[in-house]
């Protein structure tokens, strides 16, 4: 899996480093949801018995995103087999896959009438294909229901098994996303059952297959700027098309603490460096998450697909 996780909205004054334990700086402040569209989306998600990473991960952007009908559906249940130390999704033994879920996902997205959307999943290390076939079925159902929408899949690492990643790639999502999450030095500590080289391998494989690829990092776990720039240099060298950089916000005291708040100016500087390194599109800011503002990127994705076809 996938998307970043965060504390619920906390209001507080601008903070200097080191980060206070309970209060976020002013630039993390987000409005509470009030628009009717937010509540309509929430109701429909419940009626269709779907899960979203927006809710499961307590994303601070939920008010903004759902108010414009942008959401990130999370498939294969809401229980993850992994226990990444930044993540708010429940860890445990998942339920069996729901064979009707692809149809309901397609129904929801058909109703929302979006130009672009992101779907993610919990990690399913309990399944022989790590959920590859269910992913493919979901992609096909969504493409049939939403033929003009571009679709981004934010997948796990398939334990490095590229054959199972191929099942997803064969279903032809428009963007294949997998998050490195953090710098190599911190990877094992942050993602206990994952590894940086394995994630790198999955991205490299997708890129070799000609996919439009995307990855993301959380900042604030103790990484240095040099380490972040080194990762950006690596993913630029790999040919990754889209990169997201956002601030890690600890979901609870039992998750990894926030070591540091990176300022908006620092995010802007990293975004500039990433662009200079040749990454085609960079989203860099404190509240950026893997799917933040992705709903407005259909034209970008079509352009990147056209470029990928010529590689």
Report the interface residues with ligand SF4, using CB under 6 A.
3, 53-54, 59, 61-62, 65, 70-72, 289, 291-292
Tell the smallest beta-carbon distance from residue 30 to ligand SF4 (Å). Answer: 10
CB of residue 53 vs ligand SF4: minimum separation in angstroms? Answer: 5
Q: Which is nearer to ligand SF4, 28 or 65 (CB)?
A: 65
C-alpha–C-alpha distance, residues 34 and 262, integer Å? 29
When the beta carbons of 53 and 218 are compared against ligand SF4, the nearer one is 53
Give the shortest CB-204-to-ligand SF4 separation in angstroms.
25
Secondary structure in 3-state letters for 30-66: CCCCCCHHHHHHHHHHHHCCCEEHHHHCCCCCHHHHH
Cβ atoms of 212 and 248 closer than 8 Å: no
As measured in angstroms, the least distance from the Cβ of 230 to ligand SF4 is 26
Counting runs of H as helices and runs of E as strands, what totals does the chain give?
11, 10
**Residues 6 or more apart from 76 whose CB is under 8 A from it?**
94, 97, 101, 121, 122, 124, 131, 134
List strand residue ranges (DSSP E) for the chain, in order.
51-52, 72-75, 79-80, 90-91, 116-121, 150-154, 175-177, 213-219, 242-247, 281-284
Residue whose CB is less far from ligand SF4, 241 or 283: 283
If the CB atoms of residues 164 and 291 are measured against ligand SF4, the closer one turns out to be 291
Closest to 82 (Cα-Cα) out of 159, 184, 165: 159
- Minimal distance in Å, beta carbon 218 to ligand SF4? 13
- Are 181 and 2 in contact by the 8 Å Cβ rule? The answer is no
Pick the closer one to ligand SF4 by CB: 59 or 258: 59
Q: How far is the CB of 52 from ligand SF4 (least distance, A)?
A: 6
Q: Which is nearer to ligand SF4, 89 or 235 (CB)?
A: 89
Least distance between ligand SF4 and beta carbon 5 (Å): 9
The answer to whether 104 and 74 have CB atoms below 8 angstroms apart is: no
CA distance 18 to 180: 25
Taking alpha carbons only, the member of 178, 173, 139 closest to residue 159 is 178
To ligand SF4, the closest distance from the beta carbon of 61 in angstroms equals: 4
Nearer to ligand SF4, 112 or 231 (CB): 112
Cβ closer to ligand SF4: 5 or 106? 5
Residue 21 main-chain phi, psi, to 5 deg: -70, -30
- SS3 of residue 154 by DSSP: strand
């Amino acid at each position: 899996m996938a998307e970043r996780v965060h504390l619920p909205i906390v209001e507080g004054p601008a903070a200097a480093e080191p980060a206070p334990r309970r209060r976020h700086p002013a630039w993390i402040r987000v409005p509470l949801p009030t628009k009717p569209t937010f509540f309509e989306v929430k109701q429909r998600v419940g009626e269709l018995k779907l899960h979203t990473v927006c809710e499961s991960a307590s994303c601070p952007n939920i008010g903004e995103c759902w108010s414009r009908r942008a959401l990130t559906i999370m498939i294969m249940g809401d229980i993850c087999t992994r226990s990444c130390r930044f993540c708010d999704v429940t860890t445990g033994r998942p339920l069996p896959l729901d064979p009707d879920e692809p149809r309901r996902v397609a129904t929801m997205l058909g109703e929302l009438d979006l130009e672009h959307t992101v779907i993610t999943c919990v990690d399913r290390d309990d399944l022989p294909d790590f959920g590859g076939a269910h992913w493919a079925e979901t992609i096909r159902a969504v493409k049939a229901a939403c033929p003009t929408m571009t679709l981004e899949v934010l997948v796990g690492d398939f334990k490095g098994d590229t054959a199972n990643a191929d099942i997803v790639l064969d279903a032809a999502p428009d963007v294949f996303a997998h998050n490195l999450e953090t710098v190599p030095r911190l990877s094992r500590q942050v993602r206990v059952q994952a590894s940086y080289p394995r994630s790198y391998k999955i991205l490299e494989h997708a890129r070799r297959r000609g996919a439009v690829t995307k990855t993301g990092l959380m900042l604030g776990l103790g990484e240095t700027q040099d380490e972040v720039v080194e990762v950006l240099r690596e993913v630029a060298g790999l040919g990754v098309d889209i990169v997201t950089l956002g601030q890690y916000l600890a979901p609870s005291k039992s998750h990894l603490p926030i070591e540091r708040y990176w300022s908006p100016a620092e995010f802007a500087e990293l975004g500039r460096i990433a662009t200079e390194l040749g990454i085609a599109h960079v989203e860099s800011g404190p509240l950026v998450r893997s799917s933040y503002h992705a709903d407005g990127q259909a034209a970008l994705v079509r352009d990147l697909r056209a470029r990928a076809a010529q590689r």
